[in-house]
A and B are shown apart, each in its own frame.
Chain A
Amino acid sequence: DTGVSQDPRHKITKRGQNVTFRCDPISEHNRLYWYRQTLGQGPEFLTYFQNEAQLEKSRLLSDRFSAERPKGSFSTLEIQRTEQGDSAMYLCASSPVRTHRTDTQYFGPGTRLTVL
């Protein structure tokens, strides 16, 4: 199986610019998750999709953040008017739907965002 892929791997932008990241989940995984990881910390949950439906958003996801998964396959995460505090690693994960209450999430390599 091909793993979760994310593009770009690194992004440097100036404060105030908009950025968009892409995540391609493992094929046939219909759940997709976004997390943010700052230096020295564990990942923090941002949002979650089941197929194309966005089912949960963390309070960390301000109005400047928007995520989509239009056809239930790949997902995009957009940050508008970036701020220096947005500098972090943005991780995407996917999981299959099985009978278990909780499914194992498999992570991509992440997109490292630096806002100057």
Chain B
Amino acid sequence: AQKVTQAQTEISVVEKEDVTLDCVYETRDTTYYLFWYKQPPSGELVFLIRRNSFDEQNEISGRYSWNFQKSTSSFNFTITASQVVDSAVYFCALSEVRYKLSFGAGTTVTVRA
């Protein structure tokens, strides 16, 4: 069974528009961690953020913000005022045990100038 679902396959926006990426996860554990990674065309996965299941406080970091809601098992990611350099594949991942990440299928974001 898919543990992490990213329903949006591709999103295309014009520069300066906001982009929200959806992530829904499934777990029976009470303690777990959620991550977002960015994979630009170069291929390297870049870590963006980690949240644990006990911390539902939303976070803003520059143009990035995250909305974690345990009630709906969602961990959504918003890019504000998108830029061409934000074009990449974004992955949401879940860790239920300390050594393994379960990734979603990814959302391809294309920002047009």
Contact = CB atoms under 8 A, between A and B. Distances in A.
Contacts of A33: 99, 101
Interface stretch (A12-20, A43-51, A64-72, A80-88): A43-51
Given A101-B31, A104-B50, A107-B45, A41 B105 contact: yes
Nearest to A3: B44
A103 interface: yes
Contacts of A45: 100-102
A2 interface: no
Given A40-B105, A41-B106, A42-B106, A101 B99 contact: no
Contacts of B102: 45
Given A41-B105, A42-B105, A56-B99, A102 B93 contact: no
Contacts of A40: 105-106
B37 to A, nearest CB: 8
A91 B45 contact: yes
A108 B45 CA distance: 7
* Interface of chain A, main secondary structure: strand
A96 interface: no
Given A31-B99, A41-B106, A55-B99, A104 B42 contact: no
B101 A105 contact: yes
Given A42-B103, A42-B106, A44-B103, A102 B98 contact: yes
- The residue in A102, A107, A108, A110 that gathers the most chain B C-beta atoms within 10 A of its C-beta is A102
B101 A109 contact: no
Interface of A: 31, 33, 35, 40-45, 48, 50, 55-56, 89, 91, 93, 101-110, 112
Q: Which 4 A-B pairs have CB atoms at the shortest separation, nearest pair first?
A: A42-B103, A107-B45, A48-B99, A102-B33
13 contacts: A41-B105, A42-B91, A43-B103, A44-B103, A45-B101, A91-B45, A104-B50, A106-B47, A107-B37, A107-B46, A107-B47, A110-B43, A112-B43
